[in-house]
Structure 1
Amino acid sequence: MKQRELLQTAMHDLDLTREAFAERLGCAKRTLDKWLLPDTSNDYRKMNETIWNLVREILAHEKLKAKHERLQKRIIKDD
């Protein structure tokens, strides 16, 4: 997956704006904007491996959190 695809997918899955996603990553919105550019753009900037890992960890965390919430609802319903 290309960096642009990863970032767009993450923003969509997390339902975050560029501003909110940049804040979650701890970077400036302008930095995120440059990461989102096509790699043919002169302003394109490549993310380092730490950011790739951070995005993956955020997505994994949110997926696990949603699963936990579903299980909690099921437990409460069964009681």
Structure 2
Amino acid sequence: MESKEMTATRKESVIGLVSNCANLRVRKEPDDKAEVLGTIPVDTEVMIEEDEPSSEFYKVFTASGLEGFCMKQFITV
């Protein structure tokens, strides 16, 4: 079932690239103290949901199914 991907494509979304960080942490909430769900290696493409209301974080989706929040400063759009 592709519900996560389908939900992401219905909203405003763009592709970003992890940069300036060897292993970018994906967090459960848009907070630098939130639980880490996993990491994304540098040069990995992610789908970004741009309509999330955070000035410091993007909500991201990876091809492997990881979904969470990453700091904007480490993603090039």
TM bucket (normalised to shorter chain) is: under 0.3
- Name which structure has the greater RCO, CA cutoff 8 Å, separation 6+: 2
After TM superposition, the score normalised by the length of structure 2 is 0.25
**When you count strand as a share of all residues, which structure comes out higher?**
2
What is the TM-score with the length of structure 1 in the denominator? 0.25
More helix, by proportion: 1
